[in-house]
């Protein structure tokens, strides 16, 4: 069996982006594409695209470039779980509900199979078709459903305990929306998605753009 050629986080992020862009293209009836065209859409360079695709193992032809459909297939084989992947959500507040509707709406390969919330008023409900359990049933439900990936949308104060419990329950991937850094054991991948830090970054660069808008072209290159 092949061992994966160790793809960096940045490359994985771009591959996921390429797949999304290619999906749009396919729905517009596009059959094939060249690296420089895909690069323009992804705001990268043609060489970058080609190098990224080396990791995928799909080869295009110099004559017609890459087949949109085949490339999506190759990306999906690399990126996706063989079956539809079940995901857990902890915290059914405003953000949690937004996530439920987000992943319920689109025909994505992810389905949020279980949600958890400490509020007894929410336990037992089904939000966007997803059942809400009490936090005491975390381990049990995760094991029963065979869930490996979880999203955390609880208040900052509860994030550390939530993440700990998830790891204990056997979760190996966590997307954490709470604005705190938490410790995870080895063998668990955690990613932070902190909206207010993102906004800070945007505000900072918006200001520096304003100051130096002449030199922008250099940056954009």
Partner DNA sequence: GCCTGTGAAGCTATTCACAGCT
Partner DNA sequence: AGCTGTGAATAGCTTCACAGGC
201: partner contacted, choices DNA, its own copies, none (Cβ within 5-8 A by kind): its own copies
Nearest to 57 by CA among 1, 4, 21, 10: 4
97: partner contacted, choices DNA, its own copies, none (Cβ within 5-8 A by kind): its own copies
Nearer to its own copies by Cβ, of 62 and 82: the residue is: 82
Quote the CA–CA distance of 19 and 129 in Å, as a whole number. Answer: 27
Nearer to its own copies by Cβ, of 10 and 62: the residue is: 10
Those residues whose C-beta lies under 8 Å from the C-beta of residue 32, and which sit 6 or more positions away, are: 64, 65, 66, 67, 68
87 SS3 class:
strand
User: For 135, which DSSP code?
Assistant: G
By CB under 7 A, name the binding residues for DNA. 8-11, 34-36, 44-48, 50-51, 53-54, 58-63, 65-66
Nearer to its own copies by Cβ, of 64 and 156: the residue is: 156
φ, ψ of residue 210 to 5 degrees: the values are -60, -40
Quote the CA–CA distance of 117 and 171 in Å, as a whole number. Answer: 17
126: partner contacted, choices DNA, its own copies, none (Cβ within 5-8 A by kind): none
* Cα angle 109, 179, 141; round to 5: 45
Write down the least CB distance from residue 204 to DNA, Å.
Answer: 15
Neighbours of 58 (CB within 10 A): 17
29: partner contacted, choices its own copies, DNA, none (Cβ within 5-8 A by kind): none
Write down the least CB distance from residue 79 to DNA, Å.
Answer: 17
φ, ψ of residue 76 to 5 degrees: the values are -65, -40
By CB under 8 A, name the binding residues for its own copies. 4, 9, 12-13, 16-17, 20-21, 24, 41-43, 79-81, 85, 87, 93-95, 97-99, 101-103, 106, 108, 110, 148-149, 151, 172-175, 179-181, 186-191, 193-211, 213, 216-217, 220
Write down the least CB distance from residue 71 to its own copies, Å.
Answer: 16
CA atoms within 13 A on the CB side of 164: 7
Write down the least CB distance from residue 85 to its own copies, Å.
Answer: 6
Contact 152, 163 (CB under 8 A): yes
23: partner contacted, choices DNA, its own copies, none (Cβ within 5-8 A by kind): none
Nearer to DNA by Cβ, of 52 and 117: the residue is: 52
Measured in whole angstroms, the distance separating CA 85 from the mean position of its chain's CA atoms is: 13
């Amino acid at each position: 069996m092949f061992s994966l050629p160790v793809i960096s986080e940045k490359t994985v992020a771009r591959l996921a982006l390429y797949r999304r862009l290619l999906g749009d293209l396919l729905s517009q009836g596009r059959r094939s594409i060249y690296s420089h065209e895909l690069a323009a859409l992804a705001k990268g360079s043609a060489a970058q695209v080609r190098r990224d695709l080396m990791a995928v193992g799909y080869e295009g032809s110099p004559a017609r470039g890459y087949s949109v459909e085949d490339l999506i297939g190759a990306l999906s084989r690399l990126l996706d779980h063989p079956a539809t992947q079940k995901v857990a959500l902890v915290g059914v507040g405003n953000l949690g509900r937004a996530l439920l509707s987000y992943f319920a709406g689109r025909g994505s390969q992810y389905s949020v199979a279980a949600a958890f919330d400490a509020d007894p008023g929410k336990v037992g409900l089904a939000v966007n078709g997803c059942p809400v359990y009490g936090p005491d049933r975390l381990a049990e439900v995760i094991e029963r459903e065979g869930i490996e990936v979880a999203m955390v949308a609880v208040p900052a104060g509860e994030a550390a305990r939530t993440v700990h419990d998830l790891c204990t329950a056997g979760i190996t991937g966590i997307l954490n929306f709470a604005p705190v850094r938490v410790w995870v054991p080895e063998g668990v991948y955690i990613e932070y998605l902190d909206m207010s830090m993102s906004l800070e970054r945007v505000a900072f660069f918006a200001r520096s753009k304003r100051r130096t808008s002449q030199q922008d072209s250099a940056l954009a290159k």
